[in-house]
Chain A
Amino acid sequence: MLSSLPSIVGFVRPDIDWHAVAPELTLLGVGAVVTLLDIVLLERGRAYTSALAGIGLLVALIPIVTLAADGTTREMFGGAFVVDDFALILKAMFIVVAYIVVLLSTNYIAEGDYWENEYYGLLLASVLGMVLMASARDLVTIFVALELLSIPAYLLAAWRKADPKSNEAGLKYYLMGVFASAIMLYGMSLLFGLAGDTRLSVISETVSGGSTNPVITLGIIFVIVGFAFKVSGFPFHTWAPDTYEGAPTPVTAFLAVGSKAAGFVALMQLVHAGFPGRGDVYQPLLWILAVGSMTAGNLIALRQENIVRLMAYSGVSQAGFILAPLAVAGDIGGEALSAVITYVLIYAAMNLGAFAVIITVARRTASGDISSYAGLFRYAPAMTVLMTIFLFSLAGIPPLGGWFAKFAVFRAVVEADTGWGYSLAAIAAVNSVIALFYYAKVARMMWFEGIPEEADTSALRVPPSLVAALGLTAAATLLFGIYPAVITHFTDGTLIALP
C-alpha cells in the first residue's frame, strides 16, 4: 500500500547521493540529538550540550574529508546541489568556525544562565544553512539556505532576553534581514521569470546572451543588493553595529564571520555561476559597494568608543576588501574566487581570535569600552599580545595572516589591468592605512596607557575552552601569514572553479 503511494501522487524520488549530503545529515542529526537531550534529560542535559555540539561538528568534518579524498564533483537535483572543491573548502570552514563559536559560547552561555540546549540547537541549524549554501547552485536552494542560516541567527541575537539592547539587536537584525530577503526574492523572481528555471546554469545562459533587457539588469542588481545586506556592505550595513553590540558576544562572532562568509559564498556563486557574462552590470555595482564599504566603514570606525562597535565597522570595511576582487571578476575569472576565499578563510581566523580576546577580557572588565583595555599589558600580557596579533593581522601587517589576505585582494585587482582595478587598488591601499589607525588605537590602550585606578589587576583566569579557541585562532593567524601555502593549497584558482 505504502509502496504504491508515490505512483499515486506522481512523485518520483530523485537520486540521492548519500555520501554527498553526509555533512548536512550529520549536522541535522546532531541538532536533533541536542534537542532530544533537552526533552529527555531536562535540566540535567545542560552539562553535555556544548560538548555534544562541539563533537558533532567535528564528526561532520569526517564526511567532508572523505569527499575531498574522493575528489569527484557530485551533482544532485539537476545541478541545484553541487559538491565540488569550492563547496568542500567552504563547508569545512563553516564547520570549523562553528566549532570555535561553540568554544567561545561554552562558558558565556553557561555562566550567563541562558538556555543552552536551544542555543546549541539553533546554532547547529544555522550552520546547516551555511553548509547548504556552499553547495547551492540554484535560486531556490540559495534562498532556502539563506533563510535556514538567518532565522536561527535572529533568535540567537536576542538571546540575552533580559537586556533591551539584545532585544533591539534581534529585532533590528530580523527586520533588516527580512527586508533584504524581500528585495532579493523580487530580483530572483525577475530572473526566474525570464529564464524559466531557477538553476544558475540556465539563468547564466539567458542573461548573458548579449541581451540588454533592463529587467535582467534590475534582477541582478536586486539580488546583489539583497546579499549586500547580509555581508553588511555600505550603505546596507546600518543594522550591523547595533546588532553586534546587543547580541551575546559569541553570537556576534558567529554573525561577523559565519553569516557574513555565507553571504560572500552566495555572491560568488551568483556572480560566477549565475551571471558570468554580465560584468557590465555587476562590476560597477560591486565596485561602488567595495569602495563605499571600505571607506565608510573605516571612517566611522575611527570614532568608535566601544570595542564591539569598532569590530562591526571594521567588519564593514573588511567586507569592502572582500568585495573588491568580485568587482573585477569579469576580467580575471577564477582568480577572483581564490582571492575572496583566501580572504574569507584568513578573516575567519583573525576575526574569531579578536572576539575570543574580547570575550575573555569582558569576563574581567564587564565592559565593552575601548578605554577598559587601558593598561592590559601590565596585568594580562598574554591576552595583550594575542589581541595585538589579531588586530594587526586585521590591519594587514606582515608576517601576520592578514597581510596575505590583503595581498590576495591587491593581486586580483591589479591583475585585472584596468582603470577600475588600479583605482580600486589605490583606494584599498589608502584604506588599509586608515584602518591601521583604529586598530592601533586599541593596541595603544593596551600597551601605552596606565591601568585605571579602580581596575582589578590580579592575573586573568581563562577557562580551557577559551584557551583552546585562542590557541587555534592565533596559531592559524600566524601560520597563514608565515606560510600562506597552507591556504593557497586549497584556494588555488585551478582547483576552485565555478562553471
Chain B
Amino acid sequence: MGEFLNDWGLSIPTFLPIIGAAVMMLIPKDREQLHKLIALATTVAVAVFGVLLLIQFVDNDNYGALNFVVDKGWIDVIDSRYILGVDGISLPLMLMTMLIVPLCVIYSWNHFPEPHNPKAFLMLLLILETGMIGTFAAQDLILFFVFFEVVLLPMYFMIGVWGGENRRYASIKFFLFTLLGSALMLVSFLALYFLADAGTFDMRLLPEAAAGIAKSSQVWVFGGMFLGFGVKVPMFPFHTWLPDAHTEAPTVGSVILAAVLLKLGTYGFVRIAIPILPEAAAEWAPFIGLLAVIGIIYGALGCLAQRDLKRLVAFSSVAHMGFVMLGIATLTDFGINAAVFGMVAHGLITGMLFFLAGSVKERYHTLDMSRLGGLLVQAPRMGWILGFCAMASLGLPGLAGFWGEFPAILASYNPAEVLAEETFRSYMVIAALGTVLAAGYLLWMLQKTAFGNPREEFANDPHVHDATVSEYLAWAPLLILIVVLGVYPQLLFGATDPAVVNSISECLDSVTSGACFDAAAGK
C-alpha cells in the first residue's frame, strides 16, 4: 500500500475528478440522480485518498521534505517536467480542498441554483477540483501554472451561469483580473528560467539555481509573481474583483472561491516566490506588509459599510487574507506558519460563513441585512451555527481563527533580521486594531441577522425553516475541524513547521547572514 501511494498517491486524486467529469459527459442530462451520485462517489473517493495520503504521510514521518514525489518527463524541449509532491505546507491545504468539494456536492444535493442543470454544474465542480489539487501538488513551475489556470474557466462559468443579477460583470471581472496577474507571472517564470540558466522549472532546484541572479533582476521577477499571486489572494488594491465575484457567485462557488482559490495566491508566495527569490522577497516585504495592513483595515471598514450579508463576508475575506499576507511578509518561520494556519482556518470558517449566507438567501430570498433579523427565533440551530462561525471568524481563542491571526500579529513584532523592526511593529499595531474592527463588524452582522424578532414580511413565511439534513452533513465536518484545530493547533503546526523551516527558513537565514549575497557576488 505504501509503495503504491508513494508512486500514485498524488496523480490519482488529481485526475480522478476529471475522469468522473468525463464519465458524466457521456450520460444524458436528465439522469440527474445518477449525475449527483457519480459526482459524490468521485469526490468522496478523492477524499478517501486524501485520508490514505495523510496516514501514509504520518507514517513516512518526513514532514519537512516532499512526499509522494513523482518525476516524469512532460515537455522535454522546454525542460518542463511532470513533478508532483506534497510537504507539510501543501498537505493541509490539499486535504482541505479534498474535504470541501464533497461537502459542496452534498450541500447542493437538493438545491441547485437556477438554471438548475446539475450535470454541467457538477462537471465544472469536478474540473475545478482537479485544478485545485494539482496546483497544491505541482512542483514544476509550468505544471503549477497550468493547474493554476485550469481553475479559471470552471469558476468563470459557475459565476456566469448560476450567479446572481450582476453575474456577467462579476464573472468577466474575476477572469480578467486573474488572467492579467497570471500572464505577467508566466513571464516572470520564464525570466527566472533563463536568468537562473539551470535549464529547469523544477521548484526543488530553483532556489539554489536562482541565487546567482543579480538582485535588480530578482526584484523585477518577484514583481511579476507578486502581481500574479497578489491578484489571486487578493491583496489591496487588487481586491476589487472579490466582492463582486463572491456576491454574484452561487453558494458553492463562493465557498470554493473563499476556501480554496484565494489560498492559491498565498500558497504561491509561500511555495514559489519567497523560497526561490528570498533576497527580492526581503526587498518587497515592507511593501507587502503595508498592503497587507491596508487590506486589514480597508476590508474591515468595507464590512462595516455593507448591507448585503454575502458582500460583508467577502470583505471580511480581504481583511483575513491581510493577516495571512502580514504573516508571510515577516519572512520568519513563525509568521509563515501562522500564515499557513491562517489559510486553513480562513478556508474552514469563511467557507462555513458562505454556506450560511447561501442558506439564509435560500430562505429569505434576500441578503439585505436591514430586512433580516430574528434568525435565532425562526431557525435557532442555524442561528447558533452562524453565531459560532462569527466567533471563530473574529478570532476567539479556542477556535481555529485565533491561530491564524494572533501569531501573525505576534510575528510582526519580531520580523526577519533584514527587515526594519519599527516598520513591522507599526504594522502590528494597525493589525491589532483590525481585530477590534473585526469583532465590531461580525457582532454587528450577528445582531442584524440573528438577534431580535423576524420582520413582518418573513414572520410567517413557511420557507424559513431550520437546517436540513444535507446542510448538517455538509457543515458538521467543518464545524468539528474549527473546534479541533482551535483546541489543538499543534495538529497543524506540527505538520507545517518542519516544512516551513526546511523550505523557507534556510534560505531566509542565508539572506540574513549574507550567504546569498556572497553567492551573487561570486558569480
Contact with B along A456-495 (1 / 0, CB 8 A): 0000000000000000000000000001110010011100
**Inter-chain contact B146/A440, CB cutoff 8 Å:** no
**How near does chain B come to A257, taking the closest CB pair, in angstroms?**
24
Residue B184 interfacial (CB < 8 Å): yes
Known: A397-B153, A430-B180, A448-B160. A425 touches B187 (CB 8 A): yes
The answer, among A417, A429, A492, A493, for a CB contact under 8 Å with B187, is: A429
The answer, among B78, B120, B146, B157, for a CB contact under 8 Å with A403, is: B146
Residues of B within 8 A of A249 (CB): none
**How near does chain A come to B169, taking the closest CB pair, in angstroms?**
10
A448 to B76 Cα, complex, angstroms: 40
**How near does chain B come to A266, taking the closest CB pair, in angstroms?**
25
Residue A411 interfacial (CB < 8 Å): yes
The answer, among A425, A436, A444, A483, for a CB contact under 8 Å with B179, is: A436
Contact with A along B110-147 (1 / 0, CB 8 A): 00000000001000000000000000000000100111
Residue A447 interfacial (CB < 8 Å): yes
Residues of B within 8 A of A488 (CB): 75-78
Residue A168 interfacial (CB < 8 Å): no
The answer, among B75, B172, B176, for a CB contact under 8 Å with A484, is: B75
A433 to B160 Cα, complex, angstroms: 18
Contact with B along A375-405 (1 / 0, CB 8 A): 0010001000000100010000111000110
Residue A115 interfacial (CB < 8 Å): no
**Inter-chain contact B175/A436, CB cutoff 8 Å:** yes
**Inter-chain contact A426/B184, CB cutoff 8 Å:** yes
Residue A48 interfacial (CB < 8 Å): no
**Inter-chain contact B161/A410, CB cutoff 8 Å:** no
Instruction: Determine the residue in chain B with the shortest Cβ distance to A378.
Output: B115
**Inter-chain contact B175/A440, CB cutoff 8 Å:** yes
Residue A77 interfacial (CB < 8 Å): no
**How near does chain A come to B477, taking the closest CB pair, in angstroms?**
31
Known: A407-B186, A429-B186, A488-B75. A447 touches B180 (CB 8 A): no
Which residues of A432-449 have CB atoms within 8 Å of chain B's CB atoms? Answer: 432-433, 436-437, 440, 444, 447-448
Residue B444 interfacial (CB < 8 Å): no
Residue A118 interfacial (CB < 8 Å): no
**Inter-chain contact A410/B190, CB cutoff 8 Å:** yes
**Inter-chain contact B77/A485, CB cutoff 8 Å:** yes
A447 to B175 Cα, complex, angstroms: 15
Instruction: Determine the residue in chain A with the shortest Cβ distance to B227.
Output: A429
Residue A415 interfacial (CB < 8 Å): yes
Residue B63 interfacial (CB < 8 Å): no
Q: How big is the A interface, by class?
A: 35 or more
Residue B421 interfacial (CB < 8 Å): no
Residue B74 interfacial (CB < 8 Å): yes
**How near does chain A come to B117, taking the closest CB pair, in angstroms?**
9
Residue B467 interfacial (CB < 8 Å): no
Residue B152 interfacial (CB < 8 Å): yes
The answer, among B145, B168, B184, for a CB contact under 8 Å with A398, is: B145
Residue A122 interfacial (CB < 8 Å): no
**How near does chain A come to B127, taking the closest CB pair, in angstroms?**
10
A79 to B511 Cα, complex, angstroms: 58
**Inter-chain contact B191/A397, CB cutoff 8 Å:** no
A398 to B151 Cα, complex, angstroms: 9
**Inter-chain contact B180/A433, CB cutoff 8 Å:** yes
**Inter-chain contact A444/B186, CB cutoff 8 Å:** no
A430 to B172 Cα, complex, angstroms: 15
Residue B57 interfacial (CB < 8 Å): no
Residues of A within 8 A of B152 (CB): 397
A448 to B78 Cα, complex, angstroms: 38
A34 to B225 Cα, complex, angstroms: 57
Residues of B within 8 A of A403 (CB): 146, 149
Residue B194 interfacial (CB < 8 Å): yes
A484 to B80 Cα, complex, angstroms: 11
Residues of B within 8 A of A492 (CB): 77
Residues of B within 8 A of A429 (CB): 180, 183-184, 186-187
Residue B167 interfacial (CB < 8 Å): yes
**Inter-chain contact A432/B76, CB cutoff 8 Å:** no
**How near does chain B come to A463, taking the closest CB pair, in angstroms?**
22
Residues of B within 8 A of A447 (CB): 157, 160-161
**Inter-chain contact B187/A414, CB cutoff 8 Å:** yes
**Inter-chain contact B168/A485, CB cutoff 8 Å:** no
**Inter-chain contact B157/A397, CB cutoff 8 Å:** no
The winner among A407, A429, A444 for most chain B CB atoms within 10 A is A429
**Inter-chain contact A414/B75, CB cutoff 8 Å:** no
Which residues of B477-511 have CB atoms within 8 Å of chain A's CB atoms? Answer: none
**Inter-chain contact B150/A433, CB cutoff 8 Å:** no
**How near does chain A come to B434, taking the closest CB pair, in angstroms?**
32
**How near does chain A come to B55, taking the closest CB pair, in angstroms?**
31
Instruction: Determine the residue in chain B with the shortest Cβ distance to A434.
Output: B176
Residues of A within 8 A of B149 (CB): 397-399, 403
A491 to B75 Cα, complex, angstroms: 12
Contact with A along B69-90 (1 / 0, CB 8 A): 0000111111000000000000
**Inter-chain contact A411/B157, CB cutoff 8 Å:** no
**How near does chain A come to B174, taking the closest CB pair, in angstroms?**
11
**How near does chain A come to B11, taking the closest CB pair, in angstroms?**
14
Known: A433-B180, A484-B75. A392 touches B186 (CB 8 A): no
Which residues of B451-468 have CB atoms within 8 Å of chain A's CB atoms? Answer: none
A410 to B192 Cα, complex, angstroms: 13
Residues of A within 8 A of B171 (CB): 444, 448
A488 to B73 Cα, complex, angstroms: 13
Residue B156 interfacial (CB < 8 Å): yes
Residues of B within 8 A of A440 (CB): 156, 172, 175
Which residues of A7-59 have CB atoms within 8 Å of chain B's CB atoms? Answer: none
A485 to B147 Cα, complex, angstroms: 18
Contact with B along A69-82 (1 / 0, CB 8 A): 00000000000000
A411 to B499 Cα, complex, angstroms: 32
**Inter-chain contact A433/B176, CB cutoff 8 Å:** yes
**Inter-chain contact A485/B74, CB cutoff 8 Å:** yes
A439 to B175 Cα, complex, angstroms: 12
Known: A440-B175, A448-B161, A448-B168. A426 touches B187 (CB 8 A): yes
Known: A399-B146, A425-B187, A429-B186. A411 touches B179 (CB 8 A): no
A400 to B149 Cα, complex, angstroms: 10
Which residues of A175-203 have CB atoms within 8 Å of chain B's CB atoms? Answer: none
Instruction: Determine the residue in chain A with the shortest Cβ distance to B74.
Output: A485
The 6 A-B residue pairs whose C-beta atoms are closest, nearest first, are: A429-B183, A488-B77, A398-B146, A414-B190, A398-B149, A433-B180
Interface residues of B (CB under 8 A from A): 29, 73-78, 120, 142, 145-147, 149-150, 152-153, 156-157, 160-161, 167-168, 171-172, 175-176, 179-180, 183-184, 186-187, 190-191, 194-195
Q: What are 6 A-B pairs with beta-carbon distances under 8 A?
A: A338-B77, A410-B186, A425-B190, A429-B183, A485-B75, A493-B77
Extra pairs beyond A407-B142, A488-B75 (15, CB < 8 Å)? A397-B153, A399-B146, A410-B187, A411-B190, A415-B190, A417-B194, A417-B195, A429-B187, A433-B180, A436-B176, A437-B172, A440-B156, A444-B168, A485-B76, A488-B77
